[in-house]
Structure 1
């Protein structure tokens, strides 16, 4: 192949592609189409040059031009730090914020069940007798409940708590795939267990110990569980009432968005586990331990409201950018 003739014949095409690549953020619609067409054409030129020529300078120049054009056509990936920042300021908080009615409903229902079970246990000796012998209940009240938070090293205990709570949250999220029908049962089990222990402790005159140990970590921990349940039920509801858009499109959007909840709650539950391992069993006075837990809960709620509301007003849903199954419709 005559390299000089090849270069002379196609040089205007290469120059035009180079110009369009340099102006890629200011192209008109026809120029974008031209960019794609020239990218394909120059890719062919590169293939020809590689197979029929030993001119390394020409091959290198065309390779660089094609690589830059490919980036302009397909789009370059955002830097990792930008994706990380977007996740914590948009994706995670906006899904939490948009689901607030669901997880607030889950919280209210769970607390009502826990309170009802606690009153039932405290007011019925027969129920307490069915739960264990007087010696077993005394052991729970005077030793086991408080010792649970300090009998293991803080590090291993925090890991155990994190895995256990993450499993409960994961069950709620996974249940969304079948319409969220198991989520009320999961929440009921969690609330009933809380009410059973609380009822025994309160009836035995140890209500201060119960709330003093549960509250520091329980505020953030239960909020995370309620949020997972709310996000899961919201996805499940989209199966029943997808609205004016196709059901598959709504489910895909909600399903991708709920992944942000899974990742975000893993960190929230890690913080809760650290509070439970380090603050709950600490020798700090009860008011100090409860204050730390309340501060963590308040900080999380303010974070969700601030960033979530801002992202929601900007039209964000928590879905990934350029979702592959999203087609704009008029």
Structure 2
């Protein structure tokens, strides 16, 4: 095939397609012309590839067709309406659907933390097993409380936010393996139980809860949610039900990613509380009260908006437009 002659014969069609694809408004006749030129140009590209695969011509036609296809099919953009729908339907519905998992994880972890704390209080030898004796006094009387005011409030809030977001992301991303989620949760609950036990053993129980509860209620809830969702992702391929293992894993993983994104906002709130409220000079009951209000607001959010959205059929997964077609399964 004479490529130069072919290009000269059809270049005017390609140029016309380019002009039409760049126009913001098209008449009905121009739309028909654009679609006809698109089909012909696609045929031309096929001929060039098979007869004279010149890289520059192939690249030009491929780019032209891609731009035209984008114009004819439209571009999906995320607007304020999509963001609002995420926080009023998708995110709370996903939390509500996974509630049995993360509530169970929360109850078990709190119980384990209490057991560890009591164990540390009742066994002085255990206390020195975790922290050298010469450092216990410094930790209990200075470092624990000073930790919350060591940095400027906004810097500390940013540090806490990014660290907790990383922990929750680990729980969800590693959920497919199961065991890493349990390890992350164990490390978290072990640190909590040991620290609480050490302060309680030195008559600092009120200090411990006065500094932990303002931000810790919602912060730990977010971690437990991430752990529960991670384990749910793991269980989705262990026991997929009527779906295939891959389909079940994909659906729960997509919902899990949505929960991880939503938890970033939840953890931003806890970071603000930990940076500005926990180390503040407010009375302890006020600081704890702020934490309790934040926790109640989260549960109200899940069990009102989340329950309503779930009852309407929302799952937290992608919508039908983005999800595409799927094979039916027997229920």
Q: TM-score, normalised by structure 1?
A: 0.77
Indicate the SS of the match to 2:289: helix
Partner of 1:95: 94
| Within-5 A mapping of 1:137-216 | 137-178=136-177, 180-216=178-214
Work out whether residues 39 and 69 of structure 1, in 8 Å CA contact, stay in contact via their aligned partners in 2.
no
Deviation by residue 1:211-234 (Cα, 9 ceiling, x = unmatched): 000000000100100011111111
> What SS class does the counterpart of residue 278 from structure 2 fall into?
coil
Tell me, in whole angstroms, the C-alpha distance in 2 between the residues paired with 1:69 and 1:118.
Answer: 60
1:106-160 per-residue CA deviation (whole Å, 9 max, x = no partner) reads: 1011111111110010001111232334442111111111000011111111111
The aligned counterpart of 1:236 is 234
Distance 1:260 1:125, change over 3 A: same
Give 1:64-83 correspondences, 5 Å limit: 74=73, 77=76, 80-83=79-82
Which of 293, 299, 302 is residue 301 of structure 1 equivalent to? 299
Distance 1:69 1:224, change over 3 A: closer
Question: 1:39 deviation in Å?
Answer: 8.8
Q: What CA RMSD, in Å, does the superposition of the two structures yield over aligned residues?
A: 2.8
- Look up the SS of the partner of 2:260 in the other structure: helix
Q: Does 1:108 align with 2:107?
A: yes
Between the aligned partners of 1:45 and 1:198, the Cα distance in structure 2 is 73
Q: Secondary structure at the match of 1:149?
A: helix
Structure 1 pair 108–39 and aligned structure 2 pair: CA distance change class (3 A): farther
Q: Secondary structure at the match of 1:182?
A: helix
Instruction: Give, in whole Å, the separation in 1 of the partners of 2:162 and 2:96.
Output: 25
**Aligned match of 1:62:** none
Separation in 1 of the partners of 2:175 and 2:41? 49
Structure 1 266/79 Cα, relative in aligned 2: closer, same or farther at 3 Å? closer
Distance 1:18 1:205, change over 3 A: same
Distance 1:230 1:109 in 2: 11
Unaligned 5+ residue runs, structure 1? 1-16, 22-34, 48-66
3-state SS of 2:148 partner:
coil
| Alignment match, 2:276 | 278
Structure 2 residue 128 is the aligned partner of structure 1 residue 129: yes
> How many corresponding residue pairs?
279
Q: Aligned with 2:268: secondary structure?
A: helix
Structure 2 spans left out of the alignment, 5+ residues: 1-26, 43-67
Higher alpha-carbon deviation: 133-142 or 279-288: 133-142
Q: CA 1:212–1:251 in 2, change beyond 3 Å: closer, same or farther?
A: same
